[in-house]
Amino acid sequence: MLSTREMENEIIKVSRSATLPNMNDLHGKRIVLGLTGGIACFKAAELCRSLVKAGAKVQVVMTEAAAQFITPVTMQALSGQPVYTSQWDSREGNNMAHINLSREADALLIAPASADFMAKLIHGKADELLSLMCLARPLQTVPLILAPAMNREMWAHPATQRNVAQLKADGAHVLGVGQGDQACGETGDGRMLEAEEIVDALEAFWTPKLLSGQHVLITAGPTYEAIDPVRGITNLSSGKMGFAIARAAQHAGAEVTLVAGPVSLPTPRDVKRLNVRSALQMHEAVQAVAANATVFIAAAAVADWRPANSAEQKIKKDGSGDTPALSFVENPDILAMVAQSARAQKGDLFCVGFAAESHDLLAHSTAKRARKGVPLLVGNIGPSTFGQDDNALLLVDAQGAKELPRDTKIRLAHQLIQDIASRLSKH
């Protein structure tokens, strides 16, 4: 008879070999980064750095106008590759840089894409290297991705909007624009997306759409249970795992609603976020969305208890040495209740729970899965993951357990989403 610890070690050995591949970064992707003329060229330096950091091999191509805003020397230093600026560049043996560079690429990313450059593209003009490459790229295998940047009036102009629509119709992927202060002093739409938003969009672009058509509801972060207007009870959950799952689910093509406890993490792109504070608010928000969801992932660390009465005014220390008598009531178990009502309605909602434990992960996770009445429970060691960017997960279902070994939360989130997607097809 194996002890729990020995069983966990066995699972770890077996499952290591079955680990799913990482799908979430740009490792090995060959990206031609094209710069056209605009003040947003200064952001292309950061973008280039971020792409390289994410594992991509970046080849920079610049128009003459782009070189007025940032030097090829800067872009060469950041990409680690000589920059191309002319179709007459004699470094290429066959003198066909436009053919060679576009054939070697996994994507052409134009950032910033100026209004003028987009206008050229829709006409198939090819009078310098970058537009020539866009026209010469193999349409079916080398995607063209554009991150526009321009003044708000230029962006809103019917000619630009018409060009964007035509570019999309021609198969290009036109990313959105940011909103805010512009270099010209005006404020509005037209800023180039930030480097990390563009990297995120590329990662999403290459993520298989395993959850397309699904609506994934996720809870994340801690809850805060007020004792009085200035004090409360909470826990060390950072929300990072839940937010990573929301991002991975969105990349996989799902509609995603994230019910977040009090954390200051940025909302993943195209994810609908509902901020809550207490367990009761989280329960209410979840109930409102669960009826339309197909997957519910409860990653939040919900407080088990809340003060029976939250004082309306700050409880004062009166100098007598007496301590306030706090009494507690149990919070609703959101996951168990949602799973129960999904079963009662014979609905299709696939429920996934989390367990943050300090020891005996397999035993506690197995028991918790049964108690919550969910098909899948994800165990993790709380003290070694709270606030961290990495984690290790133990996936427990009716058949047994499988470990996803220590990795970044983002990569683990993608593996978990892949695993859930394969379960949905059998569900």
Give residues in contact with ligand C5P (CB under 6 A).
219, 279, 298, 300, 302, 331-335, 353-355, 368, 372
Which CB sits closer to ligand C5P, 178 or 332?
Answer: 332
Least distance from ligand C5P to the Cβ atom of residue 12, Å: 22
Q: Rounded to whole angstroms, how far apart are CA atoms 86 and 120?
A: 17
Residue with the two structure tokens 């840089």: 97
Ramachandran angles phi, psi of 128, nearest 5°: -150, 175
Which CB sits closer to ligand C5P, 232 or 353?
Answer: 353
Told to judge if 184 belongs to the known catalytic residues of this protein, a careful annotator would answer: yes
Q: What is the DSSP pairing of strand 401-408 with strand 390-396?
A: antiparallel
Burial 141-160 (b: 16+ CB within 10 A, else e): ebbbbbbbbbbbebbeeeeb
DSSP class of residue 184?
A: T
Least distance from ligand C5P to the Cβ atom of residue 416, Å: 13
Which CB sits closer to ligand C5P, 72 or 332?
Answer: 332
Task: Specify the length of the chain in residues.
Answer: 427
Least distance from ligand C5P to the Cβ atom of residue 336, Å: 7
Least distance from ligand C5P to the Cβ atom of residue 302, Å: 4
SS3 275: strand
Q: Are 129 and 108 in contact (CB under 8 A)?
A: no
CB neighbour class for 219 (10 Å; exposed up to 12, middle 13-18, buried from 19): buried
Residue at 86: amino acid letter: S
Burial 343-364 (b: 16+ CB within 10 A, else e): eeeeeebbbbbbbbbeeebbbb
Which CB sits closer to ligand C5P, 189 or 397?
Answer: 397
Which CB sits closer to ligand C5P, 78 or 355?
Answer: 355
Which CB sits closer to ligand C5P, 150 or 260?
Answer: 260
Least distance from ligand C5P to the Cβ atom of residue 300, Å: 4
Least distance from ligand C5P to the Cβ atom of residue 301, Å: 7
Q: Which of 41, 134, 184, 351 is catalytic?
A: 184
Q: In the beta sheet, which residues pair with residue 146?
A: 110, 174
Q: What is the DSSP pairing of strand 107-113 with strand 231-233?
A: unpaired
Catalytic residue list: 184
